[in-house]
Amino acid sequence: MVNGRLVSSKPPMLSLLMTAEYLALEAAFGWELERAAHASAVVRFMTLTFDVLAYVVMLVFFARTLRLFVACPLSRLLSLFSLAFCTQLWGFSSTLNNHVPAACLIVIALYFALGIGAERLAPAPWRFLVFGLAGGLAATIDMPAGLLLVPAGLYLLAKFPRKALLWACLGAALPLGIHFAVMASVTGSLLPVQMRRELYLYEGSYWRHPLGVDALVEPKPLYLFHMTFGRRGVFSLYPVLLLGVVAAGRALFSKAAPMRLPVLAASAALVAFTGYYALFTNNYGGEAYGFRWYIVAMPVLLLMGATVLPGIRKGWQWAVVGLMIGVSFYSAWEASQTPWATNREWTCRIFGPSV
């Protein structure tokens, strides 16, 4: 609450983009949010453009990234299938949310950063510009997602300092500038409202007396376990993502590991990303299937895991990978049936409900 007015705690960029689309729909079709039938049509159209389309574009750029770095066609196919149908992205792409478009922007940014850095793509200024724009948008749509792109930005800065400083920063300046201008204008500060307790915990705020899963006060080690390997665990629900952990371990202990430096850099970003949520949140993303805040990290883990698949030769190893994909597919199918619900995960039948 700012000066007696309620302000959304979500970053403003996605809301601004949706407002622009709504104004276009209102002008073109006469749709008005005040009319229930029109509001339903607006929500469906926005879900199609901001989430379904983002899901498809993400898969296209993920496939293009794989073609740059993974020679084995079967490995590329399995990795693409896993991203499409063995993660939360499948289920949440059919609902209006900020995580799917942010994941799409991360994949686009990584395609250009890795391609340019490895000299698989020409270092043209427009590619740096798109990297900066996609990265800046990702960070302003789902702010912690920006942590996942820090190593990519440093990678480009080290290899092409002048172009990275000029063109990538220019691309990022547009969304970041709009974001901070809106925050300063509306709240009087550049900080997220969650970091300003007097605004977030105003008199009568829901967060003073949260209910259900929002009111959890689990010990941090227990919370970390359940968001990774427990009832809402990203790796228990989607074990195919463990291929990324395998890639991280191999890169850590073997200098001959494929894509060693990018994998290690991504691993460090994922540790920081996980640490942020483990230390500063407590409710697994609220009424959602699985730990929804990890959606943006799933493409990164699968890109890392794609470096492991070409080296699999033994039958038992393929059997394990097949089991991981099967379990992940089942979880993703469950999420597609009911993306927004508590205690609907099959793991809750093992570990018990969250609340």
Label each residue of 303-325 as H, E or C.
Answer: HHHCCCHHHCCCHHHHHHHHHHH
- 208 occurs within a structural domain: no
- Per-residue pLDDT at 204 exceeds 90: no
| pLDDT of amino acid 198 | 87
Residues 150-171 pLDDT 10s: 999 999 999 999 999 999 999 9
pTM, rounded to two decimals: 0.95
How many domains does the structure of the chain reveal?
1
Average pLDDT, rounded, for the chain:
95
Give the Cα separation of 85 and 76 in Å (integer). 14
Q: Is the pLDDT of residue 355 over 90?
A: no
Mean pLDDT of 268-290: 94
Least confident of 99-113, 186-200, 221-235, 249-263: 186-200
Q: Whole domain around residue 91: which residue ranges?
A: 12-201+219-346
In this prediction, residue 256 carries a pLDDT of 92
User: Is residue 170 packed enough to be buried (19+ CB in 10 Å), middle (13-18) or exposed (0-12)?
Assistant: middle
Query: Each residue of 24-71: pLDDT tens digit?
Result: 999 999 999 999 999 999 999 999 999 999 999 999 999 999 999 999
Residues 97-146: tens digit of each pLDDT? 999 999 999 999 999 999 999 999 999 999 999 999 999 999 999 999 99
Q: Would 301 be classed as within a structural domain?
A: yes
Q: Is-contact 239 346, C-beta < 8 A? A: no
Contact indicator for 231, 349 with CB cutoff of 8 Å: no
| Residue 351 falls inside a structural domain | no
Tell me: the pLDDT tens digits for 331-354?
Answer: 999 999 989 988 999 999 999 998
Residue 123 forms part of a structural domain: yes
If pLDDT is split at 50, 70 and 90, which confidence band does 321 have? very high
Distance in angstroms between the alpha carbons of the first and the last residue of the chain: 29
**Cα dist. 122→160, 167, 240 in Å?**
12, 14, 33
225 pLDDT exceeds 90? yes
Q: Is residue 331 part of a domain?
A: yes
353 part of a folded domain: no
